[in-house]
Every structure is written in C-alpha cells, then in structure tokens.
C-alpha cells in the first residue's frame, strides 16, 4: 500500500459513475495516488470536482489538453492517465495522452471504430507505452482460474462457449426520465454503433476470448430494439464461429426484467466443462468427463497461481466487483513499475487487457451490426 505511483484522471467528475469506481479500485490496494485531474468537459465543473476530491490546486486542470501539456513538463509528472469520459471522446484524448508519452488506462469500449483502436495500439506499441482497456470482469480470480485451466488443456479442445450478459434496467424508457446513465447509452452519437451490444456485449465477447483464448472468425447476429423509440439495440443475440472450429452463442440484453448484472460464461471442451456467473464470482464449477462437478472457490485449495495472486482475503469472505476491478490496477501498477526497472511484467501484468482487446471488441460490434443488417454471417 505504498503509493509510489501517481495518476491523473480525465473525466469522472461529480455525478459520474465509473470514475468513482476507478478511484476506489485504485485506492483499495493503494496501487497509485490520484494527484491530478481534468474531471469534466467544462472548465467550471472540472475545477469544482477537483476541489471536491481534494486535488492540489496546481494540478486541478480545466481541460484534458491543459492537463496533458502541463503534466508533460513537470518533473513529478503522473505515471499514468485514466480516461473515463463518454465513449465518443475516448479516441482523441487517448491519442493525445499517448503522444504526450503517458501510459493510458481507457474505459471500454475503447473507441467508436476499430480503426481508431488500431491506431492507438500502434502508437502505444511504438512508444512502449501501456494502453490498458478496463475489461474489468477479467479481473475476477475465478475467471483467471478458468483461463489457466483451459490454457493448461484440462478441458481439452474447446467445442462450445455460451456467454450471456443480461440486465433488466433498460426494460422501460428510462432515458426519457432524465436518468443520465441511460441517456448516453441509447444515444448513437455518444454510445457508438452498439447499444446493449457495445455496452455489455463487448464485455461478454471479451470474457469469452479471455477465458478460452479462442479467436473469433465470424458472427451471425440479431439485434433488437424492444423499447419504443430506441435507435440502438437493447437486445442482441450472436452465433459465433471461432478459428479451429469451436462455436459460441453470445446474448446481451438490457430488457431482462429481474436480472441485475447477469454476466455468465459456460465453456465445454472434449474433456470437461466449466461454468461461472458474475453474481456469484468466488465460485467456479468444473466437471471432467465422467466425473462429478467440483466447486473451486477463491481462496480455496487447488488453484492456479493466476487465481491466487488475484485474491486478497480468505475463502468464504466475499470479494466482488471492485476487487476484480482493482486487480487490473494492480496489474497496471506492476507493469509500469517493471517497465521502469527494465524488467518483464509479472503475471498480474501479463493478464492485463490492452487496446488490442479493445480493438477486437469494437470490431465485434461492427461485424454484428453488419450481420444483423444484412441477415448473413460476417467475417471479423
């Protein structure tokens, strides 16, 4: 908990949801200290939010441009920049930050087009900078256990993946009630091509890729807008073809009344199957061919090192969403520290989702939208 690293936040001012999640996740492990910010899109609200968060005056910036230019020339410049603005501004800000030489952490989905993500990736890679995209569900210890078991061949060749992400909170036209979180998500200008697909479908797509290591080749998608007046999908179903012959079914929906944050994944291979659900994240059920289901749990016996290092407290003492999120930031801190020292990242760093994963996510959305429009299979 020795805060040697420092960070700046762009976006995430008062009233924002995800900015606070990032700050708490960083604070939980003391991965870094927040010392600078341009917290809103208007100068006044930026300064007001900075004051509320207790930022030093000289590092409370009025715009991201000001932040990047002034931090660039400080000797104690921040180690990394966290970008939690609305989706539509991710690309220019991330680009500017990377070009200014900062490591970047970017909320997902990374950008509006996959080309933009590809471009960011190229800049980051050319400059040996971190550009992490917060696919936070990959931070759950038992998801990392699942990944390790599959990579280790314990399920054999993977045949089929079922991944779903079902919520119910957009079952009515909440966007017309003044709910800010709903409003931007259903607005193509701010959200991009995908509604539920972009907001949560990309988490599901990424989770399947992270757990199985499979590469998506093509999709056949159906997109629905059930709530009258919606322009973007609030429900998506996708049949997926992976390289090597594995198949997948992904469903993402925000009209499932009764579902809170129902992300789950089930993977079946020739030698075994596994099942995990985000609302009960500390457990992973694994069944080998001709055997009985075994329940692995965070902090319990028989875990892979990837799961062990992603856990803080003993078995049966629940960790949750913030802890999983915080595992990404431990990886960020670890990676930056190792880079500085000229060393290779440790396992926490290896597991970090990057802008390349973000690119895959945006490409997935693009392909699904095209498939749904044309009524046919579309290659990625």
Positions 17 through 36 that interact with its own copies (CB under 8 A): 17, 20-21, 23-24, 27-30, 34
Q: Binders of its own copies among 135-194, rule CB under 8 A?
A: 159-160, 162, 164, 167-169, 171-172
| 322 is a contact residue toward its own copies (CB under 8 A) | yes
Considering only residues 231, 293, 344, 373, which one is a binding residue for its own copies as defined by CB under 8 A? 293
**In this complex, which beta carbon is closest to its own copies, that of residue 17 or of residue 99?**
17
Whole-number minimum distance, CB 32 to its own copies, in Å? 12
Considering only residues 99, 215, 270, 350, which one is a binding residue for its own copies as defined by CB under 8 A? 270
Considering only residues 179, 261, 337, 346, which one is a binding residue for its own copies as defined by CB under 8 A? 261
Report helix angle 355-374 to 202-212, nearest 10.
Answer: 120
| 315 is a contact residue toward its own copies (CB under 8 A) | yes
**In this complex, which beta carbon is closest to its own copies, that of residue 122 or of residue 376?**
376
CB contact burial 344-355 (16+ within 10 A = b; e otherwise): ebebbbebbbbb
| 229 is a contact residue toward its own copies (CB under 8 A) | no
Q: Binders of its own copies among 331-370, rule CB under 8 A?
A: none
Strands 247-253 and 158-166 turn out to be parallel
**In this complex, which beta carbon is closest to its own copies, that of residue 122 or of residue 289?**
289
Considering only residues 316, 340, 344, 350, which one is a binding residue for its own copies as defined by CB under 8 A? 316
d(CA 141, CA 326): 11
Whole-number minimum distance, CB 375 to its own copies, in Å? 6
Sign of the dihedral through C-alpha 123, 125, 343, 323: positive
Considering only residues 151, 183, 239, 380, which one is a binding residue for its own copies as defined by CB under 8 A? 239
**In this complex, which beta carbon is closest to its own copies, that of residue 47 or of residue 355?**
47
| Contact stretch for its own copies (CB under 8 A) within 6-14, 249-257, 335-343, 362-370 | 249-257
Whole-number minimum distance, CB 200 to its own copies, in Å? 11
Whole-number minimum distance, CB 262 to its own copies, in Å? 7
Whole-number minimum distance, CB 127 to its own copies, in Å? 30
Whole-number minimum distance, CB 209 to its own copies, in Å? 18
**In this complex, which beta carbon is closest to its own copies, that of residue 119 or of residue 319?**
319
> Beta strands of the chain (E only): which ranges?
6-10, 33-38, 80-83, 103-106, 131-133, 158-166, 216-224, 235-242, 247-253, 262-269, 272-277, 283-288, 294-297, 378-379
d(CA 71, CA 96): 13
Following DSSP, what letter does each residue of 148-193 receive, concatenated? HHHHTTTT-SEEEEEEEEE--TTSS-GGGGT-HHHHHHT-HHHH-S
Sign of the dihedral through C-alpha 148, 362, 108, 266: negative
Considering only residues 4, 42, 127, 176, which one is a binding residue for its own copies as defined by CB under 8 A? 4
| Residue 221: DSSP 8-state | E
- The number of angstroms, rounded, from the C-alpha of 146 to the middle of its chain's C-alpha atoms is 18
Closest to 193 (Cα-Cα) out of 369, 357, 374: 369
CB contact burial 285-322 (16+ within 10 A = b; e otherwise): bbebeeeeeeebbbbbeebbebbebbbeeeeeeebebb
**In this complex, which beta carbon is closest to its own copies, that of residue 160 or of residue 347?**
160
Whole-number minimum distance, CB 95 to its own copies, in Å? 29
Closest to 165 (Cα-Cα) out of 199, 115, 117, 120: 199
* Coil, strand or helix at 104: strand
Radius of gyration (Cα) for the chain, nearest Å?
20
Whole-number minimum distance, CB 254 to its own copies, in Å? 10
Considering only residues 190, 266, 339, 347, which one is a binding residue for its own copies as defined by CB under 8 A? 266
Whole-number minimum distance, CB 78 to its own copies, in Å? 17
Distances in Å between the Cα of 43 and the Cα atoms of 34, 76, 80, 94, 104 are 19, 23, 22, 19, 22
Considering only residues 312, 338, 339, 356, which one is a binding residue for its own copies as defined by CB under 8 A? 312
Considering only residues 87, 138, 206, 253, which one is a binding residue for its own copies as defined by CB under 8 A? 253
Considering only residues 71, 323, 357, 366, which one is a binding residue for its own copies as defined by CB under 8 A? 323
């Amino acid at each position: 908990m020795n805060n040697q690293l420092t960070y700046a936040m762009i976006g995430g001012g008062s009233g924002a949801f995800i900015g606070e999640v990032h700050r708490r996740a960083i604070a939980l492990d003391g991965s870094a200290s927040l010392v600078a910010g341009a917290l809103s899109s208007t100068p006044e609200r930026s300064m007001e939010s900075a004051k509320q968060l207790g930022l030093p005056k000289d590092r409370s910036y009025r715009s991201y441009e000001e932040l990047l230019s002034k931090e660039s020339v400080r000797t104690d410049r921040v180690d990394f920049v966290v970008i939690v603005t609305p989706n539509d501004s991710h690309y220019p800000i991330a680009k500017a930050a990377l070009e200014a030489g900062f490591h970047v952490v970017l909320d997902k989905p990374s950008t509006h087009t996959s080309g933009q993500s590809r471009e960011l990736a190229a800049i980051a890679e050319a400059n040996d900078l971190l550009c992490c995209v917060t696919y936070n569900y990959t931070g759950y210890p038992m998801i990392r256990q699942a990944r390790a078991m599959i990579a280790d061949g314990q399920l054999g060749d993977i045949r089929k993946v079922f991944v779903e992400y079902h919520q119910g909170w957009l079952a009515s036209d909440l966007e017309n009630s003044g709910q800010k979180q709903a409003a931007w998500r259903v607005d193509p200008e701010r959200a991009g091509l995908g509604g539920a697909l972009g907001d949560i479908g990309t988490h599901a797509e990424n989770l399947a890729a992270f757990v199985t290591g499979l590469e998506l080749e093509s999709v056949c998608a159906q997109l629905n807008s059930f709530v009258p007046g919606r322009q973007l999908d609030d429900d998506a179903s996708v049949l997926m073809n992976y390289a090597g012959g594995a198949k997948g079914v992904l469903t993402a929906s925000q009209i499932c009344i009764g579902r809170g944050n129902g992300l789950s994944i089930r993977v079946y291979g020739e030698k075994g199957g596994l099942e995990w659900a985000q609302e009960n994240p500390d457990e992973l059920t694994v069944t080998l061919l001709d055997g009985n289901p075994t329940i692995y749990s965070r902090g319990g016996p028989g875990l892979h090192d990837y799961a062990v290092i992603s856990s803080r407290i003993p078995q049966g003492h629940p960790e949750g969403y913030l802890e999983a999120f915080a595992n990404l930031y431990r990886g960020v801190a670890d990676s930056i520290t190792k880079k500085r020292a000229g060393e290779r990242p440790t396992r926490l760093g290896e597991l970090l989702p990057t802008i390349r994963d973000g690119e895959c996510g945006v490409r997935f959305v693009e392909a699904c939208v095209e498939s749904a429009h044309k009524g046919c299979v579309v290659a990625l």
